[in-house]
Structure 1
Amino acid sequence: MILLMPSHGVRFGSIDDRWKTPPALGRLPKVEVYVDEFGDRGFTTKSSPFFAMTAVMVPAESAPHMRVVAAGLRSEINTEKPLHWVDHFTPKPKHAFRRKLAADMVAAIPGAVVIYVVCEKRTLIASEHLRADQDLFYNYVTKLLLERVAYAARYWPGGSRLAIVALSSIRGTAATDSRNYLDAVRDYRKTDAPMRYIKWPPSWHGPDRFDGLQIADLYMGMMGTALSGSETDVACAAHLLAHRSQIRRGPNGQLLGWGIKMYGDAGALTRRAWWDLLAA
């Protein structure tokens, strides 16, 4: 169910006793979660065909490894700026080594779990209100992603974890409005997901705040590159395929509905020449 509330206005939730992490959950091992997005949120003829989000879940004991990866990549490409797939790993011939290095290094982060939500705008079923309100669309897709983060934290291999979530700030979208929307999802129980396994509230930051947001940008860039290729192009997904073992799977190895939530026609993914390699 889509919660069709305005993306601004009345505050529906707050940090009070309702959403304080219960002591038993607070004692759980932690998993750091970093969220980034790809594409624009519009539905015009000039809009991107896809909007996607990723959550990169890194167990606390692997967080130092992740930070070393980010620092090493910044050193290798000689920049002090936050890592950004488009700025530093664009499909220029001279950047081929950079892209492979980044793909190999993030794929080696121990215990990392990756979740994607992919929206194919042409076929997704949505109200005119959702299509007209870009902030509402972003908030709803964020809800879909965090639901899957909550399930992954609850059923983490080796025992439940408490997820600490940081999202990349979105230009033109107020974090407080998104927070209000997500509070309302919880207040009105518009989800069956075990959201108590997310330390509330999630927070929004610029990429310079956390190395994990820069790493999430790289994962998202790899998926974005794969989505930008033609349906017959396998090479465009080479770097996405490098971390296929990190994408969350169901008990029978399935990706759809687990590590990849497709909002719209699933064929927009499954018809692609690289899909069977990803799902194998």
Structure 2
Amino acid sequence: MAVPIGKSLHWSEHVKRFPRRQFVAAQLAAVPGIVVNSVIFEKAAIPAEAELRTDQVAFYNYVAGMVLETILQTADEWPGGRRDVVASFGHVRGFPHHETLAYFEKKRADGGRRGPWDLLRGMPRFLGAGQLDGLQAADQYAGMLRAALEPDEFGGFEHHHLMAVRHQIRRFEGESLGYGFKVLALPGTMES
């Protein structure tokens, strides 16, 4: 996959064509021990008067908090016993990540109702995609999810790639919705 040296692998830039998407999905599907969690948040589902609708930092922090909690829950339920968590998020240029860290610290101090915060070792780091292979893999999984959920220019969907990695999506008693997929959306969004 001719990605220039020093350039991070991005789904939207380097994996545009179907054969490349199939190749990436097959490569990731073969990696053992991967558990995928996704948070899907439809902005239209946010009430008009809610702070999350107008405050980009609050919205990002809320979603990042959900992601971190699902990571912690996954580590708590890991086959063979609980696991420690060292988390890294992709750096967003110009974003006040120190506010996200303060938000995480507040959630931890509040007792972490939705996540076993005792498993988190240190605070999450915000890194460029090229600094950690896992961030590039996360971009590929997000690309597969987007291709499966958003119609292309002709109204079609590419679910094939997501189906190739479905065995890696976190489940509980066979269900991924609410576990591997945390969805906050308008009624009917996931059914259409």
Contact in 2 for aligned 1:77/1:98 (Cα 8 Å) = no
Contact persistence 2:88–2:124 (CA under 8 A):
yes
Describe how 1:1-280 pairs up with structure 2 within 5 A: 76-80=1-5, 81-90=7-16, 95-125=17-47, 127-189=49-111, 191-229=113-151, 235-250=157-172, 252-265=173-186, 267-269=188-190, 271-272=191-192
Offset of 1:128 from its aligned partner? 2.6
CA drift of 1:125 comes to: 4.5
**Is there any run of 5+ residues in structure 1 with no aligned partner, and where?**
1-75, 273-280
Contact 1:115 1:248 in 2 (8 A): yes
TM-score, with normalisation over the residues of structure 2? 0.91
* Secondary structure of the corresponding residue to residue 77 of structure 1: coil
State the alpha-carbon separation in 2 of the partners of residues 109 and 266 from structure 1. Answer: 34
Residues 190/111 of structure 1: CA separation in 2 closer, same or farther (3 Å cut):
closer
Question: Given that residues 150 and 157 in structure 2 are in contact (C-alpha distance below 8 angstroms), is that contact kept between their aligned partners in structure 1?
Answer: no
Provide closer, same or farther for how the CA distance between residues 89 and 163 of structure 1 changes in structure 2, counting only shifts above 3 A: same
Shift of 1:124: 3.6
Q: Following the alignment from structure 2 to structure 1, what is the Cα–Cα distance between the partners of residues 169 and 102? A: 29
Contact 1:167 1:204 in 2 (8 A): yes
Q: What letter is aligned with 1:262?
A: V
What is the number of residues matched between the two proteins?
190
Q: CA deviation at 1:195?
A: 1.3
Q: Alignment partner of 2:105: what SS?
A: helix
Alpha-carbon distance, 1:130 to partner: 1.6
Structure 2 Cα separation of the partners of residues 185 and 157 of structure 1: 26
Work out the CA distance in 1 between the residues paired with 2:118 and 2:49. 29
1:236 match: secondary structure = coil
Runs of 5+ in structure 2 lacking a partner? none
AA matched with 1:89: V
2: CA distance between counterparts of 1:209 and 1:220? 18
Point out 4+ residue stretches in structure 1 off by more than 6 angstroms.
none
Which amino acid is the alignment partner of residue 70 of structure 2? Answer: R
Tell me the distance in 2 between the aligned counterparts of 1:229 and 1:200: 40
- Given the superposition, is the C-alpha separation of residues 202 and 127 from structure 1 closer, same or farther in structure 2, using an over 3 Å criterion? farther
TM-superposed deviation, 1:126: 7.1
CA distance in 1, matches of 2:160, 2:54: 35
The 1:99–1:192 alpha-carbon spacing in structure 2 relative to 1, beyond 3 Å, is closer
Contact residue 47 and residue 53 of structure 2 kept, 8 A: no
SS at match of 1:215: helix
Q: 1:78: Cα distance to partner?
A: 4.3
Q: Secondary structure at the match of 1:268?
A: coil
Tell me how large the CA RMSD over aligned residues is: 1.9
Q: After alignment, is 124-133 or 214-223 more displaced?
A: 124-133
